[in-house]
Amino acid sequence: MGAHYGVAVTARPSAPTAVDVVARALRDELAGVRARAVGGRAPRVLDVGGGSGTWAVPLAGEGCEVTVVDSSANALAVLRSRARDAGVADRVRAVQGDVDALADIADGDGGADLVLGHGLLEYVDDPVAAVRALAVATTPGGAVSVLVAGRWAAVLGRVVAGRVAEARRLLTDPAGRWGAGDPMLRRMDTDEVRTLLERDAGLVVEQVRGHRVLADLVPELPDGASAGAELAALEELAGDTPPLRDLASRIHVLARRSGER
């Protein structure tokens, strides 16, 4: 699982950073799933809001059985095309629906080993119901991976761009929005995401990391591998170091559903 993994869903793509802490976390989680699997069973992944397959197609290429749930028929058509082109169509299932339908979509054999909710909580009407649905769709002992837009990075970004009034509204608005025209319904900080997953969904948070803490601040790297390697090392360190972690463009949380597999 490498730098070709992206970080967005349904027509909201983003270039991956030099060190993708999300991809690293998923790689480690899936390695554990494979180690525990009986009879070499492929890991089951459920990607909610996974759109055109930014995550699903590479995961299927790694041997996972992936179900993508998305409300956009166009995005799912792109997913199917990408899966065919990558030779993994037999390992990718596309389901048109939203997070409310997860109870009906979850596999009858106990749910997914890994459930992704990347770029999801910013747009759903009810984030509490959404994280509860993600938890229910996860097999006992399985993991939920959430990636959400960070509030404080958005504040700083508006200030740097000279949009001070929007930055003030982002800072004071309970949902972290800059105004009525904001396409996102909310942005979160690390405490908000943790509370959602632990208190409201009954999950155990194991990892909280910042994604793209510093990479978005670098206008252009000098030529040469050393500059990229230095940024990669710094980004990896910053992603695990509060308060820098909390200033990331996106907050990544890996949480676990309690119980035996």
| Model confidence band, residue 38 (pLDDT cutoffs 50, 70, 90) | confident
Answer yes or no: is 6 within a domain. Answer: no
Q: Is residue 212 situated within a structural domain? A: yes
> Is the model more confident about 135 or about 101?
135
The reply to whether 12 falls in a domain is no
Q: Which residues contact 131 (CB under 8 A, 6 or more apart)?
A: 117, 121, 144, 146, 196, 197, 200, 201, 203
226-239 burial, b if ≥16 CB within 10 A, otherwise e?
Answer: eeeeebbebbbebb
Cβ distance 149 to 249 under 8 Å?
Answer: yes
Residue 225: the pLDDT is: 61
What is the predicted pLDDT for the residue at 229? 80
Distances from the Cα of 185 to the Cα of 115, 135, 176, 178, 259, angstroms: 22, 22, 8, 10, 33
In a domain? residue 177:
no
**Would the pLDDT of 190 be above 90?**
yes
What is the tens place of the pLDDT at every residue in 55-94? 999 999 999 999 999 999 999 999 999 999 999 999 999 9
Sheet holding 112-118, edge to edge: 92-96, 65-70, 44-48, 112-118, 138-149, 250-256, 204-211
- CATH number of the domain that residue 103 is part of: 3.40.50.150
Weakest-pLDDT range from 141-145, 180-184, 216-220, 256-260: 216-220
How many CB atoms lie under 10 A from the CB of residue 217? 13
**What does the block give as tokens for 126?**
């009810």
pTM above 0.95, yes or no: no
What's the domain count of the chain?
1
The answer to whether residue 179 sits within a structural domain is no
176 is a domain residue? no
Average of per-residue pLDDT across 178-192: 96
pLDDT at residue 19 greater than cutoff 60: no
Report the pLDDT value the prediction gives residue 223, as an integer from 0 to 100. Answer: 67
Give a yes or no: residue 178 inside a domain: no
Query: What are the backbone dihedrals phi and psi of residue 29, each rounded to the nearest 5 degrees, phi first?
Result: -65, -45
Q: Specify if 92 maps to a domain.
A: yes
Domain enclosing residue 195, as ranges: 21-150+188-256
Summarize pLDDT for 240-259 with one digit per residue, the tens.
Answer: 999 999 999 999 999 999 98
